[in-house]
Amino acid sequence: MKFSKITSCMLTLAVFIAVNLNAQSVEGTRQGVKFATQNMDIQIEFYSNNIVRVFKTPQGFPYNKKSLSVVKSPEMISVKSTQKGNKTVLESSSIQVEVNPETGGISLYDSNGKLLLKDKDFGTQFSATDDAGTPSYTVREGFLLDSDEAIYGVGQIMDNKFSRRNSSHHMQNENMSTYSPYFMSVKGYAVFWDNYSISKFNDNAQELSFEGLGHCVDYYFMYGKNADGVIAQVRDLTGKAPMLPLWAYGFFQSKERYHTEDESLEVLKKYRNLKVPIDVVIQDWRYWPEFNKSDSLWNSQSFDRQRFPNPKKWVDEIHKLNAKLLIVTWPGFGPKTEQRKEFDSKKMIINFDTWPPKSGARPYDVYNPEALNIYWRYLNKGIFSYIGNDGWWLDSTEPDHINRKDSDYDLPTHLGSYRSVKNAYSLMHNKGIAVNQRKSNDSKRAVILTRSGFIGQQLYGSNTWSGDVVSSWEMLEKQIPAALNYTLMGIPNWNSDIGGFFAGGWKKDGGNKNPEFQELYVRWMQFGAFCPMMRSHGTDLPREIWNFGERGTWCFDAQEKSIKLRYSLLPYIYSTSWDVSSNNGTFMRPLIMDFVSDKNTHNIGNEYLFGRSILVAPVTKYKAKEWSVYLPNGIDWYDFWTNAYIKGGQTIVTESAVDEIPLYIKAGTILPFGPNVQYATEKKWDNLEIRIYPGADGEFTLYEDENDNYNYEKNIYSIIKFKWTDKTKMLTIENREGSFPGMLKSRVFKIMVAGPNTAVGDSSGQPGKNISYKGKKIVLKL
């Protein structure tokens, strides 16, 4: 029978089953069932053909749960219900759910009846507990996986592991540790346990389990057949990722900290004089009045008039230099700030000490909707509408917890104890700023750099960085699998401090001139060029390029080479941004996303695809003259630097020149290269090189719009589709679709076919076939 637009009698269908005394009748609901067993009330509801929600509460204690992450409402779909012995089977077009009303066990299958996951018989536990004076429960949910089933996600974890099997984690979001109760399987499904408390994740030979604080077990099973499909379901459930502006994919320079407005302006001017590309400078903390450095005015969201005498003019000067400004703001406020006084008066402060130590600064209650609006009111008046900055650096969004006491987690928030909602702090803080900024100014896309995250945060244009990591080779190596697991949670934007934040250990033997630190910094920058945000930042040692030497020295030249490569790839990167936003794509793609049938990829976390075409294998060892790279089976590859053609399905050992990161291009790739620019929007893309890598059929969609604002949501953009047919060596450039103000009406594409005698790396000056394109279909024989 169908549970869709069906009769009322079918909506209230009850199937009675003879079971033990704990099990009661299974009652049909609109798109699922509900029943009681094992002292629990259980409800199963299809949110779509691919998403099922399972909701459990102690029997007789209903709970009205409002999710902080989930934005989707259940779709009206067709769900068939049948009986299989004493079990009830629910079936959509994609998923079958088998319910055992006696044990509470739930088995989830694909549409062909292949078992995907089991919610264990007797696997749910509610243990009564006192949550800061409120009766609550320690809740636990157990699942059964195949013994050889690889899983991913859980969070950004600095343990240098990729698969999360046979691991245990205390899920508490802190600096450098960012968790969500979520895992994805190589079988093409994922589970999001919708709980924000300090929690536990544990996987062992017996089961996989989540355990935390709450009044319910509430999880979503999402089936996508593969990793891309799963991420599409995550975004359908918790929010799509908006596009960032084109400039956000340029190079960012930051430090701890620029002390005056003149200092940051001089940095930009020097980059421009050196003709090294840059788009963004970031202003770190203490631009506000320091009140004799007592920090009582910490995060006042105002400017010290001695060091920042004319902040509006300062930002105007940054814009005249064709650059953008991100400025830091914190969740905590010093005791003498106006914000703190208002939040205190309205009981909207969580009363524990946050950064900086001994300042008396305390964080505001992000779980209170009114508090989010108050925070923005001050931020907008003191900074955004006043100086016209271009984005935000949201530091300490876990937030920092000074002199941590266990009793602090019992402190009240708008939604209950701090312990019960802690892990969603960053999600709510980012939401308040992104949503309110858009209400204030819809013509500027929100750009947020943030130190923590939670599933759903992708909805707010947030780019999570890995925190205050130490500057070491070991930490560089750990960044890669941490990033890949984080992005497999459906949150596409991630970056790290290029060079690592704490670099004091390198001050000996010359600091920035220390050869090992120079090489570490260059290797980290090469990795950063293939992250969604490319951002240099740190303390102890300055990171601006000239601190490492002059042009003509290897360290300067190697950095410039990486930065310029990043800018030449902007047409590819911005088109990937469109794929992320429009098609639920992913920037940093673990090899299991595209090559899951190659089991060799299941535990490779030290290389990845950037976009859908470029395999990146960062070098993470000192003085590595050679580097091993696995090229997945099922496709052949080109060495980006030499154009050597290499068969897939093998590990190769490549030379690792210190100024080149190992890069491999999939056969069938169509790769656009942009002009030589000093900032992202300096030149129009009227003369792009289009490089074809033969050996397989391929497609690419070149995306263009106004580079900022939200007009793309109104279909104000254009796309040009390229198609390569390898057998006939035919390139088809389709009719341009769409339009936007300022769009190029005609342009030249320089077509290159990769091979031993064509371009390598930088193809400037190499021969190619120039094609005039005016928006109409062209078919070329190459």
More confident residue, 4 or 18: 4
What integer pLDDT is reported at residue 757 of this predicted model?
Answer: 62
pLDDT band for position 510 (cuts 50, 70, 90) = very high
User: What span, in angstroms and rounded, lies between the C-alpha atoms of 274 and 636?
Assistant: 39
**Amino acid (1-letter code) at residue 49:** N
Q: Which fold has domain 590-608+620-664?
A: Immunoglobulin-like (2.60.40)
For range 437-462, the mean pLDDT = 97
Residues 212-236 have pLDDT tens digits of 999 999 999 999 999 999 999 999 9
Q: Which residues are CB-contacts of 599 (< 8 A; sequence separation ≥ 6)?
A: none
Task: Read off the pLDDT of each residue in 423-447 and give the average, rounded to a whole number.
Answer: 97
Q: What is the DSSP letter of 735?
A: P
| Residue 398 known to be catalytic | yes
First to last CA, the chain: 56
Q: Is residue 15 pLDDT above 50, yes or no?
A: no
51-60, 189-198, 683-692, 754-763: segment of lowest average pLDDT: 754-763
pLDDT score, position 322: 98
The Cα 320–Cα 678 span in angstroms is: 13
Q: Kindly list the distances between the CA atom of residue 95 and the CA atoms of 72, 99, 384, in Å, as whole numbers in the listed order.
A: 18, 13, 47
Rounded (5°) CA angle 210-216-219: 55
Whether the per-residue pLDDT at 12 is higher than 60: the answer is no
**Phi then psi for 339, rounded to 5 degrees?**
-60, -45
Nearest alpha-carbon partner for 52 in 25, 27, 74: 74
State yes or no: is 468 an active-site residue.
yes
Q: How many other β-carbons are positioned within 10 Å of the β-carbon of residue 354? A: 24
Beta strands in 206-341 (DSSP E): 208-214, 217-223, 251-253, 280-283, 324-329, 332-333
pLDDT digits (tens, 9 = 90+) for 347-378: 999 999 999 999 999 999 999 999 999 999 99
Average pLDDT of every residue of the chain: 95
In total, the chain counts a number of residues equal to 782
How many contiguous H segments (helices) and E segments (strands) does the chain have? 14, 47
pLDDT at 3 over 50: no
Residue partners of 779: CB distance under 8 A and separation at least 6: 730, 731, 732, 733
Strand 637-639 and strand 626-631: the pairing is unpaired
Residue from 398, 560, 660, 706 carrying the catalytic annotation: 398
pLDDT value of residue 508: 87
Q: To the nearest 5 percent, what fractions of the chain are helix, strand and coil?
A: 25, 30, 45
Contact 421, 415 (CB under 8 A): yes
- In the chain, ranges of CATH 2.60.40.1760 domains: 8-187+189-223
The pLDDT value recorded for residue 637 is: 98
Residue 613: burial class (beta carbons within 10 Å; 0-12, 13-18, 19+): buried
pLDDT digits (tens, 9 = 90+) for 259-317: 999 999 999 999 999 999 999 999 999 999 987 778 999 999 999 999 999 999 999 99
Q: Residues of the chain with pLDDT > 70: what percent?
A: 95
| pTM for this entry | 0.95
What does the angle CA 157 – CA 163 – CA 166 come to, to the nearest 5 degrees?
90
Domain with CATH 3.20.20.80 in the chain: 254-465
Query: β-pairing, 494-495 with 462-465?
Result: parallel
pLDDT classification of 758: cutoffs 50, 70, 90 = low
Q: Which one from 119, 395, 560, 660 is the annotated catalytic residue?
A: 395
Mean pLDDT of 167-191: 98
Say which CATH topology domain 670-781 has.
Answer: Immunoglobulin-like (2.60.40)
For the record, the structure tokens of 626 come out as 């050679």
| Helix ranges, 358-424 (H) | 369-379, 385-387, 418-421
Q: How confident is the model at residue 702 (pLDDT cuts 50, 70, 90)?
A: very high
CATH tag, 254-465: 3.20.20.80
CA atoms within 13 A on the CB side of 299: 27
pLDDT at 509: 85
770, with CB counted inside 10 A (0-12, 13-18, 19+), is: exposed
> If you classify domain 8-187+189-223 with CATH, what class do you get?
mainly beta
User: Can you give 677-705 as a three-state secondary structure string?
Assistant: CCCCCCCCCCEEEEEECCCCCEEEEEEEC
Cβ 42 vs Cβ 34: under 8 Å: yes
The answer, yes or no, to whether residue 651 has pLDDT greater than 80, is yes
Q: Is 607 labeled as catalytic in the residue annotation?
A: no
Contact 136, 130 (CB under 8 A): yes
Task: Count other Cβ atoms within 10 Å, centred on residue 676.
Answer: 14
How far apart (Å, rounded) are the C-alpha atoms in residues 241 and 459?
5
Phi, psi of 391 (to 5 degrees): -175, 180
Which pair of tokens denotes residue 320? 């005249």
* Short-list 225, 36, 30, 7, CA closest to 116: 225
Q: What is the percent of the chain with per-residue pLDDT over 90, rounded to a whole number?
A: 94
Pair 450, 329: CB distance under 8 Å = no
CA distances from 440 to 240, 381, 434, 435 (A): 21, 11, 10, 9
Per DSSP, which regions of 461-541 are E strands? 462-465, 494-495, 534-536
The answer to whether 287 touches 325, Cβ cutoff 8 Å, is no
Sheet holding 608-610, edge to edge: 588-590, 608-610, 614-616, 663-666, 637-639, 645-646
**Is pLDDT at 345 greater than 90 in this prediction?**
yes
Average pLDDT of the residues in 456-468: 98
CATH 2.60.40.1180 in the chain, residues? 590-608+620-664, 670-781
* pLDDT over 90 (residue 22): no
Q: What is the pLDDT of residue 20?
A: 34
Please choose, from the candidates 675, 712, 670, 129, the residue with its C-alpha nearest in 3D space to the C-alpha of residue 420: 129
Identify the DSSP state of 234: H
Stated as kind and residue range, the H or E segment containing 519 is helix 515-528
The pLDDT of residue 17 is: 26
Q: Which of 468, 477, 689, 704 is catalytic?
A: 468
